[in-house]
Amino acid sequence: MTTELLPRIADQRLEPIAEKVERGERLSADDGVLLLTTPDLLTVGRLADTVRARLCGDAVFYNVNRHLNATNICVAGCKFCAFARVKGEEGGWLKSWEEIEGIVGGLSSRTTEIHTVNGHHPDLPLDWYEEYLRRMKSVRPDIHLKAFTAAEIHYFSEHDSVPVPEVLQRLRAAGLGSLSGGGCEVLVERVHRKMFPGKCGASEWLDVHATAHRMGIPTTATILFNHIETLEERVEHLVKLREAQDEAPGFMAFVPLPFHPENTFFARRWRPATGYTELRMVAVARLMLDNFPHVKAYWLTLGTEIAQIALSFGASDIDGTVEEEHIMHMAGSDAPQLVTESGLRRMIEEAGRVPVERDTIYRPVRRAEMAQAQTPPLDDLPHALREALLVAWRSEPERLQ
């Protein structure tokens, strides 16, 4: 075989970064910008894949979950949002207790998580959200409630004049298991002012996550990319998250979300992200966020095809079965509403990896009927991954169910 056929670094400027990755050294913000601008995407992907393999071996995680949006009525008015409606507007909803209990009661016994985020409703007090969690738990006590973004938690705090730690403590007592990672979009004040001035900014969002982590409530983090943010601002976002994880660990995964402009203020002037941009964002996140256990290829926003390829660009999780989704689909996502568990497993296996069903906090789920499946037990996972997973439940493991 000639050496021309072997993988090589086409952009020589990436060589110092490759050496840092080899040595396991932290990358700088300048490195991040270079990774976002180099035309040598395959080297960026290969480096990210090296880091992923170091953390997770061949394992790719997924879960059996259900999304639930109890209300899309919202006062925040974010410019990129196609999901929200103001009170009284056509297309707005607030589900009744009967509807919510019916949805939860109808879930398969295999479902391990409900993932719920909502609009900033003008009238609902914190009591309503406590009742919401309690009712879901009373129908399915075994289920993990991944509920609310940090922006919602901040809004509940302002709305009811209750400090954030007390909001979190009350919601946890009602059944909250972990926080969702949305609501920050891009952790840069310029973007906050222009795109979503009606909800909390970077410092408040980070403060809610740090508080949750110190209380033993794990969370995830996202970026909404491909709108008005610059490449430098994307890197700034990643560096802020990395510093936050250093200070108060508890982020389990990072989820890059490409902006879908259809049905939004930007519909006529913005183009959806290309697969090239999406794969690069996944890979650069994996390289910059050296203290995050996972980067997720969220099939619902990337589409199943790009999500599958992203498993070779640094992603170690593909999210869950979802079942019903409004936020991305109202913004024009053409991904399906549901991928079955066998469909997720097939996507992972075709990519040459081993599917591992996880619960919300990344513990492998063991099912009797899967005893023959090639699911590696936690003890067999690479040491680095086990160490990384401990970040999420280090403080108070008994409270995370």
Q: Residues interacting with ligand SF4, by CB under 6 A?
A: 74, 76-78, 81, 83-84, 119-120, 196, 199
Minimum separation from the CB atom of position 74 to ligand SF4 (A): 3
Q: Using CA atoms, how far apart are residues 22 and 253, in angstroms rounded to an integer?
A: 22
Q: Which of helix, strand or coil describes residue 158?
A: helix
Q: Which is closer to ligand SF4, CB of 120 or CB of 227?
A: 120
Q: Which of helix, strand or coil describes residue 65?
A: strand
Q: Using CA atoms, how far apart are residues 9 and 22, in angstroms rounded to an integer?
A: 14
Q: Which is closer to ligand SF4, CB of 224 or CB of 279?
A: 224
Minimum separation from the CB atom of position 78 to ligand SF4 (A): 3
Q: Which is closer to ligand SF4, CB of 149 or CB of 375?
A: 149
Q: Which is closer to ligand SF4, CB of 137 or CB of 192?
A: 192
Beta-ladder partners of 221: 254
Q: Using CA atoms, how far apart are residues 336 and 302, in angstroms rounded to an integer?
A: 11
Beta-ladder partners of 134: none
Provide the 10 A C-beta neighbour count for residue 100: 19
Residues 251-277 as b or e (16 or more Cβ within 10 Å = b)? bbbbbbbbbbbeebebeeebebbeeeb
Q: Using CA atoms, how far apart are residues 120 and 159, in angstroms rounded to an integer?
A: 10
Q: Using CA atoms, how far apart are residues 362 and 317, in angstroms rounded to an integer?
A: 10
Tokens representing residue 193 in the block: 């002012």
Minimum separation from the CB atom of position 180 to ligand SF4 (A): 11
| Interacting residues of 284 by C-beta distance below 8 A, sequence separation 6+ | 32, 35, 36, 44, 48, 234, 235, 238
| Interacting residues of 2 by C-beta distance below 8 A, sequence separation 6+ | none
Minimum separation from the CB atom of position 77 to ligand SF4 (A): 6
Q: Which is closer to ligand SF4, CB of 85 or CB of 135?
A: 85
Minimum separation from the CB atom of position 147 to ligand SF4 (A): 14
Q: Which is closer to ligand SF4, CB of 151 or CB of 310?
A: 151
Judge contact between 339 and 322, C-beta under 8 A: yes
Minimum separation from the CB atom of position 152 to ligand SF4 (A): 8
Q: Using CA atoms, how far apart are residues 395 and 400, in angstroms rounded to an integer?
A: 10
Minimum separation from the CB atom of position 167 to ligand SF4 (A): 16
Q: Which is closer to ligand SF4, CB of 81 or CB of 191?
A: 81
Minimum separation from the CB atom of position 155 to ligand SF4 (A): 8
DSSP H or E run through 203: helix 202-214
Q: Which is closer to ligand SF4, CB of 55 or CB of 84?
A: 84
The closest alpha carbon to 304, from 263, 261, 253, 340, belongs to 340
Judge contact between 293 and 252, C-beta under 8 A: yes
Q: Which is closer to ligand SF4, CB of 67 or CB of 199?
A: 199
Minimum separation from the CB atom of position 122 to ligand SF4 (A): 11
